[in-house]
Amino acid sequence: MTDFPQTLKELRLERQLTQSELADLLIVNQRTISSWETGIREPDCEMLVKIAKFFDVTTDYLLGVED
């Protein structure tokens, strides 16, 4: 998941969302979003699908497999 942290941050900023706002929408803690964006932690498969659906992208895009 090397590209995931940067991709998530870019998608969040494109929507003009704070980490707290995105956390509320995904029903997670703001620290969780922060840890994903810094690469400290990674979302599980179920959450990865939820993130992809929210941003209307594929999981492959989130993971950097496709552009």
Chain centroid offset of residue 23 CA: 10
pLDDT at site 66: 77
Q: Strand (E) positions, 1-67?
A: none
- Overall average pLDDT of the 53-64 stretch: 95
Using the structure block, give the residue that is written with the tokens 């998941």.
Answer: 1
CA atoms within 13 A on the CB side of 59: 8
Q: Is the pLDDT of residue 34 over 90?
A: yes
CA 24/CA 63 separation, integer angstroms: 22
pLDDT at site 61: 95
What percent of the chain is modeled with pLDDT above 70? 96
CA 32/CA 8 separation, integer angstroms: 12
pLDDT at site 31: 98
pLDDT at site 1: 46
- Overall average pLDDT of the 34-53 stretch: 97
